[in-house]
Chain A
Amino acid sequence: MAALVEDAAKTSHVERKTNKKPVKRYWEETEELKNSDQNTSDRSLSTEKTADRCTSTESTADGSTSTENTANRSTSTENTGSVKRRKGGQIPSGKKDPFPGEAPIPEEQLQKYQRGSKHNVPKGSQRKLKEAIAWSEKVSELAQKQAARYDLLLPEDAGFLEGDEDEDTCRISQEDIADAVDITSGSKFFNLHLSQFGPYRLDYSRTGRHLLLSGKRGHVACIEWQSKNLTCEMNVMETVNDIKWLHTEAMFAVAQKKWLYIYDSEGIELHCVKKFNDVLKMQFLPYHFLLATASATGFLQYLDVSVGKEIAAICTKAGRLDVMSQNPYNAVIHLGHSNGTVSLWSPNQKEPLVKMLCHRGAVRSLTVDKTGTYMVTSGLDRKLKVYDIRAFKPLHSYFLPAGASYLSLSQKGLLSAATGDIVQVYQNVWGGSPVTKPYMAHRVRGQVWGLAYCPFEDVLGVGHGEGFTSMIVPGAGEPNFDALDTNPYRSAKQRQEWEVKALLEKVQPELIGLDPGQLGKVDQGSFEQRHKERVDILGYDPLAKEKFKPKSKKKGRSSAGAIEKRKRKVAYEDQRDVIRLNVEEKMKQQKEKSSESQQLGKKSTLDRFRKQDK
C-alpha cells in the first residue's frame, strides 16, 4: 500500500523545549551575560530568517510552522553557543578540547552555496589590490560558510510515494491516498463540479494559499482553497482566456474577450487596460512586477504593474500566441509557435533572444523548471521533449501516444502532463535514464484545460471541462519556504511589510536577459572603448605591463653586455616557476630512467639467486 513518509515525519519535531541556554560559567560577568543573551536571541531570530532566505523558498506541506519556528530558534541558540565556546581558546583547567576549532561543514553543503570560483591574488601586484582581493575572498568565504552552516535550519524533506512490491505507483488512486494520509492532507484532494461555465483555467498565488479559477464562459472565482473559503465569485459575462494573480493575493488580472482587466480580491474592477487586447496567455514576473501577455494578434506585451505603464510591446510576427511560459531563473518569456519553434524573449529586444526548433508540428505546451536549467515542451507531433536551455540541447525525447496538451513542472521537478482527460505525473524527467512510465496518473471528468502545481504543497490543481480537481502528488512541493520572500503563513501586516520591501527591491526590466549575472560583469564594450581613448590621450597604455628597462650605471657597468645580463635576470619572470617545475620533473624522470637502465644493465643470470636486500 501507499505510505506517506513525509506526513509521518513532521509530527516528530513539532514540540520541543525552547530556549536552552548554555551553562553559566563562574568567570562570566553577570552584566555581560545579560547582553550576550540578548544578542544571541536577536541573532537567532535573524539567522533563522536569513537561513530561510538564502535557500530561497522553502516550507512544509502542512500547517504546523508556528511551533516549528520556535523549535528552530532553540536549536540555533544552542548552535551559536557551542561555537563560541570552542572559539574561546584554552579551557582554564588546561585540559585539551577534544574537538578544537569550528565544527566542520559538509562539503556538499558548501558546494551548494558556492558562488563563482575563487580568485587568487596575482603575483607582484600592488598592496591595495592584494588587500581588496583578499578581503573580498575572505568575506565571500565567510558568507558561503555561514549559509552552509545555517542549512541545518531547513529541516524538512520532500515526501514521496512508494508502492508495495509489484505495485505501480501510477495505479494508486487519489481516493486511496486521501484515505491513507492524515485528515488535513486528505482534505487536499477534492473536486469542484462546475459544469455550467465550461473548461476552467486556474492559478495559484505565489504563497500557495489562494486559488483563482476562471471558466471559459465568464465565471471567475477566488478561493482560499485550504479552508475552502470563497473570497469572491462573479461572472464577467465575456469569454475569459486566462487569469493570473498579480504580486499579492489582493489583485488579479483577467484576460477577457477583448481587453485585459484587473480586479481586486473583492471582485471590484480596478482597471481595464485597453492597450492590451485579445490576450490569450499571461505570465507574471514577480521580482520585476511585470505582467507579460501574449495576444492573438501576435504581440508580446509587458505591463509594469507597479507603475501601470506598458514597458514593451513586441510584434513577434509569429501568428497567434497561445503557448507561453516563463523562466523563473532569468525572467525570460518562452513562447511556443505553430511552426514547431520555441522563442525566448526579453522586453529589451525586438527580436527573439533564441529561437529553437523543437517539434515537427506546432508546439502545444511548454514549461520551464525552477532553476532555469530545463525546459519541457510538447507538440502536435505527440512528442514530449526535455531541453537543457543553458546549452539549448535536447536531453530526452518521449513519445506520448495521445500527446500532451498541457504541461506543468512542480518546485521539486515533477512533471505533469495532461493528455485528454488524464493527468499524468512523471518523476525525474531529466535524469540520466529515460522515463518509461508515469509516477502517478489520474483521470478527471472532462477535457483538461489548465494545470498548475500549488507552491509549497504537494498538490496539483487541474482545471477541466467539468470544474476543478485538486489532487495530491507527494513530493511535488518545496518543503522549506523562505519566510522573507513567500511566506504561506504570513499575516496581513507581514504581507504589507513584504509588499513595501518587494517594491523597493524591484528589479528593473532592463536587466532581463539570458544571463542574469550580466549585471556583475564589467561592460566590456564601453570599457574597451574608453580604454582606447585613454591610451590615445596619454600616448601609452597605463594598464600595460611595463617593460623592464635597466638603469644606466657608471664606471663601465652599463656596457651592452652588462645590460643584456641584467635584462636576462628578469626575463620570463612570470613563466619561470612553470619552467622550473617542468625541468625538475624532467630531471626526475631522467634520473628514474637512468637508474632503471642501470639496474637492468647490472642484472645477470645469477642475480636471481642473490639475497634481496629490502
Chain B
Amino acid sequence: MAVSAEKEFAMDNEVISASEDEEGSDNERKHNKLLQAISSLGGKRRKNQTERSEASLQVSEFFVSAEGAGDKVGLSDLLGTVEKTTGATKTKKQLRNLQNRNETLELPLNKEQTEKIQRSVAYEKSAKEVTNWQSIVIQNQKAEQLVFPLNQEPSGPKRVEQVVAGWKAETALEQEIFRLLHMNKQPVLDPVLTAVEEASLMAMSLEEATIRRAELQKARALHSYYEAKAKREKKIKSKKYHRIQKKAKRKEFLKQFEERMTTDPTGALEDLKKMEMSRMEERMSLKHQNSGKWAKSKAIMAKYDDSARKAMQEQLQINKDLTQKIVTVSDDEHETPEESETVPDFVNEVEPITDSVNPWMRSRIPQEEPEISCITPDKPQTSEEEEEEEKEEKNEEEELLAEFQRRRTLRQTEDDDLIPTAAEEQIVNTCEVSREEVVGEGTVEISDSDENDSEEEEEEDVSQFNTLFKLMSSEKTHESPAPTQDQQEDEEQLDEGQLRVRNMEDLEGLEVSDPRPGTAAPLSMPQPTASEPTAKKSKREIDLSEVLTKEAKTIKVAMTPTVVEDEEHEEQISIIKEAFAGDDVISDFLIDKRKQEEAGRPKVVDLTLPGWGEWGGVGVKPSQHKRKRFRKKMAPPPSRKDQKLPDVIISEKRNSSIATHQVSHLPFPFQNSTQFESCIRTPVGQSWNTQTAVKKMTMPKVVTKAGAIIEPLVKEDYIKHKSTKPAGKGPAILLNDKRGAKDGKPSHKNKGRDSQKRRRNKP
C-alpha cells in the first residue's frame, strides 16, 4: 500500500514537474527511490506516513493528514465518548473488560496442522458412522437373495395377523363372533407373546432395579479401588519390599492352612493340593537352581563372603525341598504293600502291552491253570484279576523300566551264548514259559499290517518261529517234575520279557542251549512247517482252484428242449469247443493277468555311467559293485484294485478324457476337495428335482426389478431401526405398561404423556 501510494505521489510530482522541469528535484527523487529500494531489501517495510512535504494548490481529501496521524487508535479514545453516552451499559462493560485484559490471543495453528487435525477428527467420525453399517453389510452378504429395490412389500402370502390388522368386523354376524371371543378373553389378533415381551413381563420392578444398580456400582467402585491399590503396589521397585511381602503371604497361608487342618480337613486337603501344585510349578520353572544370575554371582562371592555362602546354601536347600516329592500319606498307599505281599508275583506276569506296532506284544496271553493252582490254591480268581488290574495301573511305569532292564540283560546274555551261565538257563526257562503261553492259542498271531508288508524273509522267520514254539511246547508236556519254588520265582522275574528273536541264529542258539532236549520233539515238528509255507505261497499267487469255483446249482426246467440242435453247424462246433474248454481258458487268463501286473510295476533304473572312477573304453564293462550301487529301485506302486479278485483284471490306466470336464481348481471358500464334492453332490437339474427345489437351487443372488430405480440405503431405515418401530407390524395388544417398567425413566415420561393425552381427550 505504502509503495503504491508513494508511486502515485511520484506520478503527481512528475505531472507537476513536467511543467516546471527542475532537474534538481529529479535527482532528489532518484535518491529517494534508492533509499526506498534499500529499505525494501531489509524485509520489514517501514510504514511510511503519507505526508505532504510541500505546498500545492489542490489538496486532495484523501491525503488529509491530521495531527498525530501515525499513532494507534487506543481503546480509550473510543471509550471516552462512550462513557459520556447513556445506555449501552453492556457494551460498556465489555469494552472495559477488554481494556483491562492484558493477554494476547495465541497465534492460530498453521494451515497444515489444522487440516491434519480436521482430517483425523473427520476420519474418526466417519469411521464410526461406517461401522454402524457393518452388521447390515454382513447381513446382506449372508442373505440368500437380495431383491432390489429394497423396501418392497414381501410378495409371499401374509400371515393371518397382518391381514386381519386392517380388517374390521362389519356385519352383524362377525360382530357377534368377536363379542363372544372378547367375552371369553380369547386373544383376537396376536395370541402369542414374543420372547422379548415375555421377558419384559418377567422383569423386576423399578425399586429393585435401582437397588441392584446401586449394588453393582458399589462393587465396581470397590473393585477399581482394589485394582488401583494393586497397581500402585506393583509399581514399587524395591525387591526387598516384595520379598517381605511374599514371605508374609506365605506365612499367612501356612497359618491358615494349619487352622484349617483342625477345622476343615477337606479344605485343608485342597490347600495341600494347591501347595503341591505351586511347588510343581516352581519346580518346573527351574528357578532355584544355580543357573540364575544372582546365584552365579553368589557362587563367585561364596569363597570370600560368609553371608553369600549362607545364601547359596539356602538357595540349594530350597531347591532340594522343591525337587523332593511330598509324600502324601493316603489310604491307597497303605493298601498296596499288603496286597503286594499277598498277591503272588505271577499276577503281574502279563504286563499291559502298549506296543501296538509290535505284533508279538499284542496278543494277550492267557495264564496256564496249573501254575496258578500250585502257588495260590486258596485265592479266588476274581479278586486276583481285580488286583491285577489295580497293580497294572499303579506300577506301569516301574514295570516298563524293569522290563527294559531285563531285556537289556537278555540281549547281552544272548550275545555271548558260547558260555552257558546261570543267566542262560533263565532264558531257557523264559522260553519255556512263553511257549507255554503260546500253547493256549496254538499259533502266534500276526497282525494284518505285517501281512500286508509281507517280505518273504520275515514271513519265513515267522513260520519257523511258530513251529519252534510248537516244538518246544511239546517238549514241555513231556517234562514231568514241577519246578521248585525258587526256580519259579526266577521265572516270574524274567518271564515278562517277551523273547525278541532278531534273526535265525538267535533262534538256533536258543535251541542248542536248551539243556533238556525233548524226546518227542521231532515228531510234531514237520506238520506245521510243511503246511504253512505253502499256504503263504499260495496267497501270493492266484490259486487255480480259486478261480471259477462258485458252486453251481442246477435248475430244473419244466419243459425240456425238443428242438433238434444238430441242424445248426455252429452248435456242433460249440459242443466240441466245450469239450476242450476249461483249464486252458483259466491259465490263459492268469497269464494275461500276470502280464498286466508286470507291465504296471516300475522298472529298475540303471544309472551307471561307464568310465567314471575306473577304466573306460570299448569292451570294458563297469564293475559289478558299481552297477549294483547305481541301480535305482523305484517305489512300488499302490496295490492294484484287482489284487484280491483272482478272475478279474481292472485296468489301472487313468481316464484322462474326463479331466477336461472336471473341476481342477478348488473354488474360493473350500479348503479341501471333500467339502467341495459334498457341496455339488446334489444335482441341480429339473430331471432330478421337483420344481420348487430347482428354483431354490438356482435362485439368483441378486434380483432387480426392471425399470425400478434402485436407491441407496436410507440410514434411518436401518440404523435407528431399534428405536422406532414399524407401525403395522407391532402386536395389537398394548404392552406399554410392562415395557415401561423395564425401561425405567422414559416410561414415566410416556405415562405422563399418555395420561395427559387422556385428560385432554376426556373433555
In the complex, the chain A residue whose C-beta lies closest to that of B699 is: A139
In the complex, the chain A residue whose C-beta lies closest to that of B161 is: A92
A116 at the interface (CB under 8 A from B): yes
Specify which chain B residues have a CB less than 8 angstroms from the CB of A140 in the assembled complex: 681-682
A54 at the interface (CB under 8 A from B): yes
- The stretch from B202-210, B501-509, B581-589 touching chain A is B581-589
> Known interface pairs A354-B649, A380-B574, A510-B657. Does A422 touch B557 (Cβ–Cβ under 8 Å)?
yes
> Known interface pairs A29-B163, A447-B563, A597-B386. Does A119 touch B657 (Cβ–Cβ under 8 Å)?
no
Assess the A398–B552 pair: CB atoms within 8 A.
yes
A437 at the interface (CB under 8 A from B): yes
Specify which chain A residues have a CB less than 8 angstroms from the CB of B563 in the assembled complex: 420-421, 446-447
A309 at the interface (CB under 8 A from B): no
> Known interface pairs A129-B669, A129-B671, A392-B650. Does A399 touch B548 (Cβ–Cβ under 8 Å)?
no
Assess the B674–A511 pair: CB atoms within 8 A.
no
B232 at the interface (CB under 8 A from A): no
Assess the A400–B555 pair: CB atoms within 8 A.
yes
How far is B553's CA from A385's CA once the two chains are assembled, in angstroms?
Answer: 10
Interface of B, helix, strand, loop or mixed by DSSP? loop
Assess the A126–B669 pair: CB atoms within 8 A.
yes
- The stretch from A60-68, A99-107, A176-184, A523-531 touching chain B is A523-531
Interface string of A62-99 (1 = CB under 8 A from B): 00000000000000000000001000111011100000
Specify which chain A residues have a CB less than 8 angstroms from the CB of B658 in the assembled complex: 348, 510-511, 513, 518-519
Assess the B662–A522 pair: CB atoms within 8 A.
yes
Assess the B693–A143 pair: CB atoms within 8 A.
yes
Specify which chain A residues have a CB less than 8 angstroms from the CB of B568 in the assembled complex: 447
Assess the A523–B659 pair: CB atoms within 8 A.
yes
| B225 shortest CB reach to chain A, Å | 24
Assess the A392–B645 pair: CB atoms within 8 A.
yes
> Known interface pairs A92-B160, A357-B647. Does A133 touch B675 (Cβ–Cβ under 8 Å)?
yes
How far is B150's CA from A541's CA once the two chains are assembled, in angstroms?
Answer: 42
How far is B668's CA from A519's CA once the two chains are assembled, in angstroms?
Answer: 19
A355 at the interface (CB under 8 A from B): yes
How far is B579's CA from A361's CA once the two chains are assembled, in angstroms?
Answer: 9
> Known interface pairs A90-B192, A399-B552, A436-B556. Does A139 touch B581 (Cβ–Cβ under 8 Å)?
no
- The stretch from A44-52, A253-261, A269-277, A290-298 touching chain B is A44-52
Name the interface residues of B624-679: CB closer than 8 Å to any CB of A.
642, 645, 647-651, 653-655, 657-666, 668-679
Assess the A351–B651 pair: CB atoms within 8 A.
yes
**Which of A49, A136, A146, A399 is B555 in contact with, Cβ under 8 Å?**
A399
| A369 shortest CB reach to chain B, Å | 19
Assess the A354–B648 pair: CB atoms within 8 A.
yes
How far is B557's CA from A357's CA once the two chains are assembled, in angstroms?
Answer: 26
| B679 shortest CB reach to chain A, Å | 4
Assess the B553–A396 pair: CB atoms within 8 A.
yes
A19 at the interface (CB under 8 A from B): no
Name the interface residues of A349-397: CB closer than 8 Å to any CB of B.
349, 351-362, 380-381, 383-385, 392-394, 396-397
**Interface size of B in residues (CB-CB distance below 8 Å):** 96
Assess the B681–A116 pair: CB atoms within 8 A.
yes
Assess the B687–A484 pair: CB atoms within 8 A.
yes
| B508 shortest CB reach to chain A, Å | 45
Assess the A122–B675 pair: CB atoms within 8 A.
yes
Interface string of B690-704 (1 = CB under 8 A from A): 111110110000000
> Known interface pairs A94-B187, A424-B557. Does A356 touch B647 (Cβ–Cβ under 8 Å)?
yes
How far is B691's CA from A526's CA once the two chains are assembled, in angstroms?
Answer: 36
In the complex, the chain A residue whose C-beta lies closest to that of B184 is: A94
| B241 shortest CB reach to chain A, Å | 18
Assess the A119–B693 pair: CB atoms within 8 A.
no
Assess the A443–B559 pair: CB atoms within 8 A.
yes
**Which of A171, A398, A597 is B554 in contact with, Cβ under 8 Å?**
A398
Specify which chain A residues have a CB less than 8 angstroms from the CB of B661 in the assembled complex: 508, 510-511, 519
How far is B664's CA from A524's CA once the two chains are assembled, in angstroms?
Answer: 7
How far is B559's CA from A400's CA once the two chains are assembled, in angstroms?
Answer: 12
Query: What 7 A-B pairs have minimum CB-CB distances, sorted nearest first?
Result: A420-B561, A119-B678, A140-B682, A46-B691, A523-B662, A116-B681, A522-B673
List 24 contacting pairs A-B, 8 Å CB cutoff, sorted by A.
A28-B163, A54-B688, A89-B160, A92-B188, A116-B681, A119-B678, A128-B668, A129-B670, A139-B697, A143-B693, A354-B650, A357-B586, A357-B647, A359-B548, A360-B586, A380-B577, A380-B578, A384-B555, A399-B552, A421-B561, A421-B563, A436-B556, A437-B555, A437-B558
